[in-house]
Amino acid sequence: MIEERVGAPPRVSRALLPAGLVSASAIMLFGFQLSGWGHLVLVAGVGLGFLFRRELGIDLLLIGLGVAIVSTTSVEADVEWGAFIRIGIVLALAVSVPFLIDRFLLRRHVIRFPWRSREKKTRLEIAYLFAVPFLGWLILPFYFIRSGAYLNWPHITDLSELVRFFVGVNAVGTWDELFFICTCFVLLRRHFPLWQANLLQAIIFVSFLWELGYRAWGPLLTFPFALLQGWLFAKTRSLGYVLAVHLLFDAIVFLSIVHAHNPDWIPIFIY
């Protein structure tokens, strides 16, 4: 659970340095495509974490393994069968390797995927589920079309490619929550206050989304979204809830990009 921590994390800790290096490596690897330097910073962050505290080093290593695995391939949007399978395998490994090491090698059971929490959702949380599609409808077409970011996704008209694109959008959205929230955020939360752990995971989250295609002024949207997802998970302790939020939003992402490439299709947006 998120509450499982290694001692009480201070407000400001020297552990922020190695954790910050691990997050910064994601910017270098995914944002600037600096493979060699990015991996060097990643190794430095993990090594410094072990130097400061063994448990910190282990948790940063698990995060670093996932980041390093993702960095082995381009995750730019592509619906060709080869890319579809390649990216799917790499993302699956990035989640499963840290999980399997934590569960079976370290026998800690820190990385978990709690589908439901025992607490009932508040009215505000339920209302937010209905608000998400509306917010996406209001914001996403304006962003994709006015910034030209939709061009980072292929122009698709073939039914088979549309199906793969829809599946890919939902699969990546699901992976985002499994890795950035249930893995990175949960591991960081053991060592840092909520706001610090959330900022650190959001940096990795947004860096990945940048490579995926959310460029131009996309981080102005994706960074608040990443922070909100971490905060919601901390409050609800439910993967099912944050995943529902993400997939509702991604449904509008799919429709917006398809419409941007084919303006006569799905003419339901205002931008």
pLDDT over 60 (residue 3)? no
Q: What is the pLDDT of residues 18-29, one digit of tens each?
A: 999 999 999 999
Q: Give the tens place of pLDDT for each residue, 243-269.
A: 999 999 999 999 999 999 999 999 999
* CA distance linking residue 186 with residue 180, whole number of Å: 9
| pLDDT of the residue at 241 | 97
Task: Compute the half-sphere exposure of residue 77: CA atoms within 13 Å on the CB side of its CA.
Answer: 27
Q: What is the pTM of this model?
A: 0.94
- Residue 61 above 60 pLDDT? yes
Q: What is the pLDDT of residues 74-124, one digit of tens each?
A: 999 999 999 999 999 999 999 999 999 999 999 999 999 999 887 788 999
Specify the pLDDT at position 12: 76
Inform me whether the pLDDT recorded for 133 exceeds 70.
Answer: yes
Q: What percent of the chain is modeled with pLDDT above 90?
A: 92
Percent of the chain predicted with pLDDT > 70: 96
pLDDT at 6 over 70: no
What's the CA gap between 80 and 96, in Å, rounded?
A: 24
158 φ, ψ (degrees, to nearest 5): -75, 135
Cβ pair 63, 94 in contact under 8 A: no
Nearest to residue 110, comparing CAs of 67, 69, 59? 59
State the DSSP code for 101.
I
**Exposure letters 123-139 (e unless 16+ CB within 10 A, then b):** eebeebeeebeeebbee
For residue 50, the model assigns a pLDDT of 98
pLDDT at 7: 57
